[in-house]
């Protein structure tokens, strides 16, 4: 999972792992294209490929619209 706060993501990772899932935390700022590219590169490094990408952008519990892009992953 990708989050700007690795501390917040670590708690979610702990819950996923406790249920037998597999997860990794990648710190990134999704408002930065370079940060997103680095996050994708790290995911590919860890898992070999990105097959599904779900973008859920929130800010302190408030959802906001995230602009879509046609950049290739």
- Assigned domain for 25 exists: yes
pLDDT tops 70 at residue 62? no
pLDDT of residue 46: 93
Residue 69 within a domain: no
Is pLDDT larger for residue 65 or for residue 49?
49
Contacts of 2 (CB under 8 A, 6+ apart): 9, 26, 27, 28, 30, 39, 43
Q: Quick one: the chain helix, strand, coil %, rounded to 5?
A: 40, 10, 50
Number of domains making up the chain: 1
In a domain? residue 59: yes
Residue 54: the pLDDT is 77
Residue 48 lies in a domain: yes
Beta pairing, strands 2-3 & 58-59:
unpaired
pLDDT digits (tens, 9 = 90+) for 14-51: 999 999 999 999 999 888 889 989 999 999 999 999 88
Indicate if the pLDDT at residue 61 is higher than 80.
no
């Amino acid at each position: 999972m990708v989050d700007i706060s690795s501390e917040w993501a670590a708690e979610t990772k702990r819950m996923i792992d406790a249920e037998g899932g597999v997860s990794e935390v990648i710190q990134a700022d999704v408002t930065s294209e370079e940060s997103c590219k680095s996050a994708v590169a790290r995911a590919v490094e860890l898992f070999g490929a990105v097959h599904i990408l779900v973008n859920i952008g929130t800010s302190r519990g408030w959802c906001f619209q995230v602009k879509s892009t046609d950049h290739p992953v």
